[in-house]
Amino acid sequence: MSSKATDTLDYQTIIRYAQNGAPQPERRVEKTEAQWAELLDPETFRVTRQHGTERAHSSDMCSRFDPGLYGCACCGTVLFDASVKFDSGTGWPSFTAPVADNVVAYRKDTGFGMIRIECLCATCDAHLGHVFPDGPPPTGLRFCINAVALKKQASV
C-alpha cells in the first residue's frame, strides 16, 4: 500500500498545515484526560496525552519492517503504512509520509530551545512525535514517531 500523502506532501506543505490547519479528519474522538488515563497504560498516557517522549531505542519497533499498518495507540486511526517505514538510526520508528493528508495534524513546537513541527493524531490529538525535512525520497520527510504512540495493526 502506498501513501496517498506521498504524492503531495513536502516540508513547506507541513509548515502551512502547522500555521493554518491540516485537512479535516474523517472523524473526531474526544475524551477527558481522566478517561484517557483509564484507557491507556501510564507510559502511553505520558507520551500521547502529556506530550512526552519515550527513551530512544526503547522499542524493537524501529527494527521491525514486516508489512502492515500502524494506528494511533489512543483511538486506532490508521496513520502509517509499513511500506514507507525506514531505519533512520534515531531510535524511534520513522516514516516518510502518513497514509493520508488528513490523519496527522501539525503544530509548531518551540520547547527545549528548538523550533520543530509536532505531529498529532488528527482524530484524537494524541502527541505522536515530530516531522523533520531530512528523510529519504520520495518526500524527503522523516516522521519520527514514538513507538508507544503507535499500535501495529493488520498485515497486508
The residues that are catalytic are 144
Angle at 7 between CA 105 and CA 5, to 5 degrees: 25
DSSP 132: E
Spatial separation of the C-alpha atoms in residues 20 and 109, rounded to whole Å: 15
| DSSP per-residue codes, 60-83 | GGGG---S-EEEETTT--EEEEGG
Set of cell numbers at residue 80: 502509517
Angle at 31 between CA 30 and CA 35, to 5 degrees: 160
Order of strands across the sheet that contains 142-145: 85-86, 94-95, 142-145, 127-132, 116-121, 104-109
